[in-house]
Structure 1
Amino acid sequence: MATYQELKAQAEAMAAQAEQARLAELDEVIAQVQKLVREYELTPEQVFGAELAAQSNQANDEGAHKVPLAPQAAAASTALASTVKTALNPAAAWPFPTGSRP
């Protein structure tokens, strides 16, 4: 059986390999995500939730890169975002004003 130090060295080597693979695939993954965001006219709120989208907007105000979306996407999906039942907003479709279930 391998010693703790040997296993730790193997784990570190595998972590380095995993990071190299992640970096090699990153450009393709980003391109796929950007394509889907544009195709479905997704908003940051739909993709990341309201809290993370707000943080992203703050970063964009400070000069971070912003993904361009179709102009009508912002207006249309902002109105729908509060009424669409999703994993991020499961209570939206519930008929009671509190959004909570009995």
Structure 2
Amino acid sequence: MIHSADRASGGIVAPGGFQGEDTDILAKAVYSRADREICKPVLDRLTARQGRVTGDYSPVWRERDYLPDARRTKAGVFLVHGLNDGNVKTRHTARLREAALGRHGVPRRL
């Protein structure tokens, strides 16, 4: 996830009724192991820590925030984003491009 600092200004966004912005639902959707129990502790931890009830920016989202690390980017960046992404919004891509990468002089294209 690029950046969910506002999680839609503190609200929980559920595109089409699906909690796609939350880490546990996304993790379960892409889970491909036959052994469903081996990662259960990780999935349980994601569910407990992501802050679905309040929508607050929490340590779970801070760990997944690329903006603070943009200053360490050395290579040029080509950003591509789809408009139907319920997880990462276009504004997150714009923040990364302009606010973070631009501020540090990283070559970038969108």
Q: TM-score, normalised by structure 1?
A: 0.32
Larger Rg, first or second structure (1 or 2)? 1
Q: Which has the higher contact order (CA 8 A, sep 6+)?
A: 2
